[in-house]
Amino acid sequence: MKSKTIIKELLKECKITINGSNPYDIQIHNDKLYDRVLKQGSLGLGEAYMDGWWDCEELDEFFNKILRNDIEKRVKADLSLLLRIGWKSLFNINSKKAFEVGEKHYDIGNNLYKAMLDKRLTYTCAYWKDVDNLDEAQEAKLDLICRKIGLKKGQKVLDIGSGWGSFIKFAAEKYGVEALGLTVSKEQKFLADKLNRGFLTETRVQDYRSLNEKFDKIVSIGMFEHVGYRSYREFMKVVHRSLNDEGLFLLHTIGGNISQRSGDPWMDKYIFPNGMLPSIKQIGKSVEGLFVIEDIHNFGADYDKTLMEWYKNFDKNWEIIKEDYNERFYRMWKYYLLSCAGSFRARKNQLWQIVLSKKGVVGGYNFVR
């Protein structure tokens, strides 16, 4: 069976037509795409988009339809199709990690993130309950976290993976705490120090494993996706030893519906080197014997809206920042934001906020939503 026929069959299952008239239909500019996708899977699909081999008016909805339709299960269920295309080549099962990109994700330019994010530069899922714009939704998320951990004036709080310091500034500004943020990015620290001047905050470029301090409360907001399954347990041990006995830890992380030991090859190569989404099973195993799980809150559907807002900002401000990049970068970043939006819309990815205590909250934890 020719590659085009195989791809056409798979897309038909998703009600997507090659060169069709719907905004979610794929428009093919190079017929070599079919072989490339079957040989290289998601890496080939993403690189072909970057190369201009195909387009789609609504990339987010294209991915929503593909992922929502469970093409994976369709292929697994059809042995003849599986043999014809080669399961590993299409879905990259047990594939080796793509080589690392030269530039770190967070050091590609603060101007890019200023153009894309909210006014506080919060690069994690917003909370859209009872709000209607990105700035308010991000502040609602930051405040939700503060309330979930019962933050009080004078306490000492740690943020592992603090980015540009949006949480530590918010916590210091609104709750009167002393806040420390850890990042692996020099660019983030530089801007965080500038933005947070005047508040009782500190941002360090430091590996969390070298911590040797105690905190009343600890949060990690969108960093656990970078830890890797081999280090989940070590991460939790560091948090446990760094948290006061009566303290609370809030883990805010993207998660997957199934346990995996590698990330998507395209995302690994171009966006988040060595990134990996944990499952509830993996998180549960990592905290066993260390923490009591007090609360799990899933608002993954909010990430779809957050990503769409980021894309709108990025696209709207492209003319301002494009001199620092090129058209291939534009297509790469667009593909990243919209494919992720489609994945959350399809409910393949989740966003969990998990509250943990060391010994269990006496009398029970008071849920916050």
Q: What is the architecture, at CATH level 2, of domain 105-357?
A: 3-Layer(aba) Sandwich (3.40)
Query: Which residue(s) pair with 13 in the sheet?
Result: none
Query: Which residue(s) pair with 218 in the sheet?
Result: 158, 249
Task: Give the span between the Cα atoms of 7 and 34, in whole angstroms.
Answer: 7
Share of the chain above pLDDT 70, in %: 90
Task: Give the span between the Cα atoms of 192 and 172, in whole angstroms.
Answer: 13
Return the number of other C-beta atoms located less than 10 Å from residue 17's C-beta: 14
Given this model, what pLDDT does residue 72 score? 66
Q: What are the backbone angles phi and psi of residue 6, rounded to the nearest 5°? A: -65, -50
Q: Is the dihedral of CA 214, 220, 223, 229 positive or negative?
A: positive
The one catalytic residue in 14, 56, 146, 340 is 340
3-state secondary structure the chain: CCHHHHHHHHHHHCCCCCCCCCCCCCEECCCCHHHHHHHHHHHHHHHHHHCCCEECCCHHHHHHHHHHCCHHHHHHHCHHHHHHHCHHHHHCCCCCCCCCCCCCHHHCCHHHHHHHCCCCCCCCCCCCCCCCCHHHHHHHHHHHHHHHCCCCCCCEEEEECCCCCHHHHHHHHHHCCEEEEEECCHHHHHHHHHHCCCCCEEEEECCHHHCCCCEEEEEEECCHHHCCHHHHHHHHHHHHHHEEEEEEEEEEEEEECCCCCCCCHHHHHHCCCCCCCCCHHHHHHHHCCCCEEEEEEECCHHHHHHHHHHHHHHHHCHHHHHHHCCHHHHHHHHHHHHHHHHHHHCCCEEEEEEEEECCCCCCCCCCCC
- Answer with the residue of higher pLDDT: 32 or 107: 32
Is the pLDDT at 101 greater than 70? The verdict is no
Residue 94's pLDDT band, with cuts at 50, 70 and 90, is: very low
Is the pLDDT at 76 greater than 50? The verdict is yes
Residue 2's pLDDT band, with cuts at 50, 70 and 90, is: confident
Average pLDDT for 208-222: 96
> Which tokens belong to 198?
């005047």
Average pLDDT for 177-192: 94
For 3-7, 70-74, 193-197, 318-322, which range has the lowest pLDDT when averaged over its residues? 70-74
Q: What are the backbone angles phi and psi of residue 74, rounded to the nearest 5°? A: -60, -45
Residue 300, C-beta contacts closer than 8 angstroms, at least 6 positions apart: 125, 254, 255, 344, 347, 349, 350, 351, 352
Q: What are the tens digits of pLDDT across the range 158-181?
A: 999 999 999 999 999 999 999 999
CA–chain centroid gap for 75, Å, is 27
Query: What pTM does this model have?
Result: 0.91
Closest CA to 91 of 208, 225, 258, 221: 258
Is the pLDDT at 310 greater than 50? The verdict is yes
CA–chain centroid gap for 369, Å, is 21
Is the pLDDT at 104 greater than 60? The verdict is no
Is the pLDDT at 90 greater than 60? The verdict is no
340 is a catalytic site residue: yes
Q: Do 172 and 142 meet the contact criterion of CB atoms below 8 Å apart?
A: no
Residue 103's pLDDT band, with cuts at 50, 70 and 90, is: very low
